[in-house]
Structure formats: structure tokens, C-alpha cells
Amino acid sequence: MMSKRHESGSVAPPKRTQSVRLAAVLALGWLTASVMQASPTPDANPGEIRPLASKEEMIRDRFQRFQDRVFRLREQLSQTEPENAARLGKALTQAGELALAEKLDEIIRMLTESSALDEAVDAQGQWLEDADRLLSILLEQDSNNEERKQELERLQAYREKLEQILAQQKSLRAETGQTSAAARLAQQIDQALRRLDALQARQQQLSKATAASPNQASQQAGDQQTLSQDTQQLAEDIAKLSEPSSQESKDSAQVESAKGQMQAASQSTQQGAQSMSQAGQQMSQSNSSGAQSQQQEAEKALQEAKEKLEAAKQALGEQQRTPGQMGGEQKALAQQTRGLSDQMKQDAAQSGQSGGKKSGGKSGQSGQKSPPGQQNLDQAEQEMGGAAESLEEEKPQEATPKQDKAIAELEQAQQELEQALEQLRKEQREETLRDLEARFREMLSKQRPINDSTLALDQLGRERFGRAEELQLADLSAAQRALAEQAATCLHILDEEGTTIAFPRVVEQLAEDMTASADRLAGLDVGAITQTIQQEIVDTLEQLLEAVKKMQQENEQQAGQPNSGNKEPPLLPPSAELKLLRASQLRVNTRTTAITESAAKGEEAPQAAAEALRKLAARQVECAEIAKQMRDKAR
């Protein structure tokens, strides 16, 4: 599983290599901690010098074994993993150039001479600085990791720019649609005005005929009723035109104002139709005076309707921007789209020249994959150019279909970018989980012997400790402190990753416990509290490993499934984080009991117990804060 080739073409670093390389890092870290322990104090007496020299000789022997181990590992990886082999070779070369082995021999000589102790301190300080250079080489990121990070940054930058272009295009499409809708509505108003003029002319003729021949009004009643029906139809047609648009194509302020005037025009036309109908009824009853009164009301209502329609048309003419002006913006937006596409091509070419990988995308004529979404951007840019031409020709109706196609292409480009980003994030999460698993497993393998040695020394009894036991405890303390440094490295990885809440805080607590254990071992304390802390360290590492392994299994089960939404998933799910928090709370409870019982038995000094409880109270507060943050995040 660890060497599985991903779809993008990258090869995940084998877990075996990570574990062995990590062992080399830990070995060197342990050696540097041992050198610090072997450093003489200014007030060292002659009786203490020889043991320090002996310890320095042990360090020299271990450093030689460390070099041999790195050399053998480099040979093993020279064919299968040349990049890792080259890193180890670089570390060996650096060790030779810095003469680290020879400097340890010189430090041993200085420690055998009481007059050279100050020189020994300086020499040890320089050796530690040189050893840090080796650590930097061994901890260098794989080029795949760095390339992935750079690719993520590029794709995220593309996505942000694309989101801006897409938002501007949608806004421009809405404005173009509103302009097109306003133009179409203006045409419809003109048609309604023409129909209204015809109705007014017919009504005026009927009114004149009724006034001229009152006795023949009954003969014209049918024409009046027909006119009423036609007027009613116009009122209904105007009412339909004045209905608000759908939420997707919301009306502009100008169109909304015009439709308000049209609603009033429809009502006036409706009133005119009703007056016409009543006039027809009066005419059928030969009541010419009543008919003339209703006819006058009808003419007045039609004139009001006409004024309202003209006001609606005037409102439409108050558009803030002309199609030509929008055409300029559309052309500029097309240029931005072209610029983003060109940037993608340029970055892809540079990445290809440097041996970088491509993520996603479609195959081009050269056989190489283009950046994800880049071809869609080219299509969108062409549609935008066509829309700009239509707008400049004052044809917004022709521009909107082209803008719709441009938006569809931009959204497709956005989807391809998101898929590429998701794939890279998935690879990054898998790499981080593999790295953390290797580190936690290595720390666990180192912690268990420390716990066993601590228990054995406690069973021997502190009153029987001699110089050998004190040196052993110094070694155990150094080894424990080296593990604390490794836990701090894991914390840095998690803080950089930044998607979890409880996970990094639990690792931070792990580093604190390791430091506390190292301090107690340095103080020759191997009692119940020290052993409780060490057992909690093992429990924590096992729980962290369980959480990481579970997440790795979930990632494998979800392989190929699309991520819901654009939000980056956390390194660990909330359920796993909650389990880690619960375990942390249980450790607080267990440690509280251990401190209280040790203090009651007199095994722990009152002042030391009080200080331990104070630190534990701070951890309890931290657990509460973690729970609060997890609750707030879940809302």
C-alpha cells in the first residue's frame, strides 16, 4: 500500500524507507542529547572527569555504528530509491567533511585532562551545531512533497482567480439579461400602446355615434360589448407582462419600476373595460344618457392607462449602462480569462521542464496533459469575445446565450480545478498520515524499553543506586528527551496541517509528558508517578496510532468517491478526535489519583505534588477548551 502509484502519476514514499530514515534521525538526535548529558560542568571535580570521558567514548562508538547503518542503508536504496540514497550519501559526505568522528576523539582526549575542560565544553557545542546540519539533511522534504505543495499553491491561486472571473461573468450576464429583458419589455409596451390607441379610437367613434344618434344607441350596443371584451383582453395581457421575473433572473430596479407602472395601466384598462360593458348595457336599454356617461368614464380610464404605459417605457430608458459599455467590460473579462489560461500554460511548461508532474487536465496535441480547466478557459474566452461583439453592436439578446456558454465553461473549469485540488490534498493527507504513523510507531518502540528499564530500577531500589545506575538513568533521560523532541516535530507537522483540534493538542501533551518523564529520570525518580507518566505515554502513542490507522483505512474505502463540497476534510474525523479527547481526560483522572496516593504515602514531596497537581489542573482546563472548540466547529 505504501508504494501505490496515484492517479496523478506520483509515487508515495515507501513506509519502510520512512521508518528506517526516521530511525537514523532518532539515533542522531539521541546521540546529540547524550553529548549534552556528557558535557562537564564548570565545577566538575577530578573524580567526575573519567566517567564523562567513558560516556563520550560510548557516544563515539554509537556514532560510528550510526554511520555504518546509514552507509548500509544508502547501498540498499541506491537502485530502488535513488533520491533517498542520495540524501543519505549527502549526510555521510557532510559527516566526513565536518570530521565528526575525529572531533569526538578529540573531545575524549580533552575530558581526560582537567586543564582542558573548558575546551571540551566549546568543542561539544561545536559538535552539536555540526550534528544539527546532519539532522537538517536527513529531515529534508522529499521533492514529491515539495512539488505537491507548490502544485497546491498554484491550483489554489488559479481557483481564486477563476472564482473572481466567474463571479464577474455572472454579474455581467445578469445585467445583460436585464438589459435584454428591458429591451424586450419596451417592445411589448410599444405593442400594448398601439393596441390601446386603436381601442381609444374605436371608443371615441362609438361615443360620437351615441351622442349624434341617441335613439339608435341600442343598435350599437353589440359593438360596445365587443370593444369591452377586446379592452379586457388587453388588460389581461398587460397584467401578464407586469408579473415579476423568477428569482434566478431578478428584475433590475428600472424593470421593476416599469412593471409597477404597467400594473397600474392594467388596472386602468380593466376599469375602462368595465365602463364599456356598463355602457353597452345602457345602450341595449336605450338609455343613451347613461351610456354616454359610462363611455366618458371608459375614455378617461384608457387615457390613464396610456399615461401609465408611457411612464413604464420612460422608466426602462433610465438604464445606467448601455450595451456598448457592457461590451467593454465583457472584452476586459475575456482578456482576464485569456491571461489565466496563458499563466496555466506557462506554469505547466516550466513544471514540465523541471520534471514536475501535471495534475488532472486533458491531453493536448503534444500528448502532455494540460492544466485542469485550462481548455475550458479557452472556450470560455471565445464565448466571451463573441458576447462582447454582440454587446458592442447593441444586441444584448444575442449576447446572453454566449455568456451562458461562457459561464458553463468556467464552471466546468472550476470543477476540474476542485477535483485536482482534492486529489492533491488526498495525497498530502495520506503522506502526512504515513509520516505520523512511522514517527509514532518508532517512538513507541523506543518508549517501551525506557519503561521497562525504569520499572527494573524501581524494583532494585533507589537506595541501591550506584554510579552505573546513575549513568543508566542519564541515558534513559536523554533518550526520553529525544523522543520529546520527536513529538514536538509531530506537533509542528499537525500545526502546519491545521485541520484538526484535539489531535495536535494531544501530541503536545505527549511531548510534555515525555519531558516530565525525562526530568524525573534525570532526578533519579523512578517511582509510581514516573511510571504512571511513562505508561500514559505508551497509551497515548497506541491511541494515536489507532486513530491514524483508522483514518488510513477510511481513506482507502473512500478512494474514488467525490468530496462533498469544497471544504477541505480534516486529517482526522470528529469522532476520532473526540475519542482522543476522552482518552486525554481519562489520563488526567488517572494521574490525579497517582499523585494523590503518592503524596499520601510520602513517596512524593508535598511541594512536588502540589506543582504536579497545578500542571494537571492546567491540562484539565486545556481539555475543556478543546471540547469547546470542537463544539463550536461542529455548529
Q: What one-letter code names the amino acid at 479?
A: A
In order of 346, 390, 409, the CA distances from 164 in angstroms are 21, 23, 14
Task: State residue 39's pLDDT score.
Answer: 56
Yes or no: say if 378 and 405 are a contact pair by the CB < 8 Å rule: no
For 354-420, what is the HEC assignment? Answer: CCCCCCCCCECCCCCECCCCHHHHHHHHHHHHHHHHHHHCCCHHHHHHHHHHHHHHHHHHHHHHHHH
Domains 1-140 and 425-635 share a fold: no
End-to-end, the C-alpha distance of the chain in Å comes to 36
Task: State residue 190's pLDDT score.
Answer: 92
Inter-helix orientation angle 82-98/100-111, to 10°: 40
Hey, what CATH topology would domain 425-635 get?
A: Methane Monooxygenase Hydroxylase; Chain G, domain 1 (1.20.58)
**Residue recorded with cell 454582440:** 390
Yes or no: say if 64 and 132 are a contact pair by the CB < 8 Å rule: no
Task: State residue 163's pLDDT score.
Answer: 95
Rounded to a whole number of angstroms, the CA Rg of the chain reads: 42
Closest CA to 398 of 406, 408, 386: 386
Q: For domain 156-316, which CATH number applies: 1.10.10, 1.10.1200, 1.20.120, 3.30.310?
A: 1.20.120
User: Residue 478 class from Cβ within 10 Å (0-12 exposed, 13-18 middle, 19+ buried)?
Assistant: buried
The residues facing 11 across adjacent strands are: 5
CATH architecture, domain 1-140? Up-down Bundle (1.20)
Task: State residue 354's pLDDT score.
Answer: 53
Closest CA to 236 of 272, 194, 200: 272
Closest CA to 351 of 333, 334, 374, 378: 374
List, for the chain, all residue ranges whose pLDDT scores fall below the cut of 50: 1-23, 26, 41-44, 46-49, 143, 355-356, 358, 364-367, 564-565
User: What is the DSSP annotation of 308-339?
Assistant: HHHHHHHHHTT-SS-HHHHHHHHHHHHHHHHH
Query: In the chain, what are the domain boundaries?
Result: 1-140, 156-316, 323-394, 425-635
